[in-house]
Amino acid sequence: MPRASVEPLPIPGHFAARPFCTNQGHFLNFSASETVEMVASGQSINTRAKGRFSIQTLTRNSALLYFFGIKVYESLDSAYSTPIRPLASFNATVTCEQGVFAFKKQKFIGNGNENWEEDSWPCLLYHARYVFEPDPLYPLIANNPASLPEGQTPGPAHYYRLGDQQELTRKELLDMGISPIYEHCLEK
């Protein structure tokens, strides 16, 4: 099955949950050779994994992903040389939702952007998002006490394809009739 033609998930592709945050990152990188790199980083979570995936199209805008052969590595092991532990194989569905998804970028005090004027605030605009159910990164962070309260199960996660965004100011978005939202970037 040719991977690049899968409608619900453009492959190859690099995807991020909450791409407007700069102090944390949840990334999925799918290659045409059916390998996947997974990175979860933030204030209390830093881990990476690499393995394989297969994809089965369900509908024009949804697919079933099967993740297997996933190995977890130290966060600084960018060469993926020494695995820490394997992950059990798992499935996730992905659904592509078309629409307008506009976000204000995260602002940090002390690095020069605290003086952004409201109209010139940098924003990201996407026209598609990819809803993964459950979040494929959950198995990476499931053993971290900061991930989910006991008994709670992972819900869907919204990912955005990096490189597909437009970078505009808040004023430019408002002139287009689009109100960007601001989401806090602290880990939940």
| Each residue's pLDDT tens digit, 105-152 | 876 655 555 566 788 889 999 999 999 999 999 888 776 545 555 555
Q: How many residues does the chain have?
A: 188
Q: Is 187 left (phi over 0), alpha (psi -120 to 50) or beta?
A: beta
Residues 6+ apart with CB under 8 A from 9: 30, 55, 63, 65, 94, 96, 130
Query: In this predicted structure, what is the pLDDT of residue 108?
Result: 60
Query: In this predicted structure, what is the pLDDT of residue 181?
Result: 82
**Residue ranges covered by each domain of the chain:** 3-175
> Which pair of tokens denotes residue 182?
């601001």
How does residue 6 score in pLDDT terms, banded at 50, 70 and 90? very low
Q: Between 85 and 4, name the one with better pLDDT.
A: 85
Contact 20, 105 (CB under 8 A): yes
**10-14, 72-76, 93-97: which range is least confident on average?**
72-76
Q: Tell me the pLDDT tens digit for each residue of 22-72.
A: 767 889 999 999 999 999 886 666 889 999 999 999 999 999 999 999 999
Q: What is the mean pLDDT of residues 141-165?
A: 72
Tell me the C-alpha distance between 88 and 23, whole Å.
Answer: 29
Quote the Cα angle for 103-27-17, to 5°. Answer: 30
- Residue corresponding to tokens 């945050």: 21
